[in-house]
Chain A
Amino acid sequence: DIQMTQSPSTLSASVGDRVTITCRASQSISTWLAWYQQKPGKAPKLLIYKASTLENGVPSRFGGSGSETEFTLTINSLQPDDFATYYCQHYDTNFRTFGQGTKVEIK
């Protein structure tokens, strides 16, 4: 099975910072990768799919890049609403798998 590994597990940042989260796949997954944001007590929210396509309604300060085994989620000019946990997710025909999550907290 393909494993997804995110880093870092926790990230401390300030409002206005540029933040980068990395997700690595244990084998090539082309661009079959999505990113979600989750706030405490809430369901996850889709941010990006196919590695770099922004979901409708998601602010343009969010960006995704990468292919094969290495992917990044970048948040430009971090806003107070962005403090949350972020998950990468690989999708295939018959299974889906998540990274372990990256918590973005206030510095």
Chain B
Amino acid sequence: QVHLVESGGGLVKPGRSLTLSCAASGFNFGDHYMSWIRQAPGKGLEWVSHISGSGLTIYYADSVKGRFTISRDNAKNSLYLEMNSLRANDTAVYYCARDVGATTWDHWGQGALVTVSS
């Protein structure tokens, strides 16, 4: 049974950094692209970044490029999102999700809330 659990969310001041983690289980983690998707309070979904199974292919949304870094540790079945220079409009629930062939997402975590506020 596929299980994704995000952690590391919380309240952070503008300009500061925060790293999210996603612990995966129930599937061959290294075989799958993985993604981060976020949802601001009361708003729609926004894809943030995805990473190939090997970690060699990475893409970011323009809104986070240069500030966020996605990474993975296949030995630990874990996905990460390092977020730097955080802004108020980065406030959102951040979901990790398992890719289906680098296209859609068939399994999602429960989400981690990141609040950027002074």
**Which A residues form the contact surface with B (CB < 8 A)?**
1, 32, 34, 36, 38, 43-46, 49, 55, 87, 89, 91, 93-101
Contact = CB atoms under 8 A, between A and B. Distances in A.
Contacts of A94: 59
A64 to B, nearest CB: 12
Interface in B80-99: 95, 97
Contacts of B62: 1
B57 to A, nearest CB: 9
11 contacts: A34-B104, A43-B95, A43-B97, A43-B110, A44-B108, A46-B105, A49-B100, A87-B44, A98-B47, A99-B44, A101-B45
Interface residues on B, range: 20 to 34
Given A34-B104, A36-B45, 9 more contacts: A44-B95, A87-B44, A89-B45, A89-B104, A91-B104, A94-B59, A95-B47, A96-B50, A101-B45
Contacts, number: 49
The residue among A34, A43, A91, A95 with the most chain B CB atoms within 10 A of its own CB is: A43
Contacts of A97: 47
B35 to A, nearest CB: 8
Nearest to B96: A43
Minimum-distance CB pairs A-B, first 9:
A43-B108, A96-B47, A34-B104, A91-B103, A94-B59, A98-B45, A101-B44, A49-B104, A100-B44
Contacts of A87: 44-45
B111 interface: yes
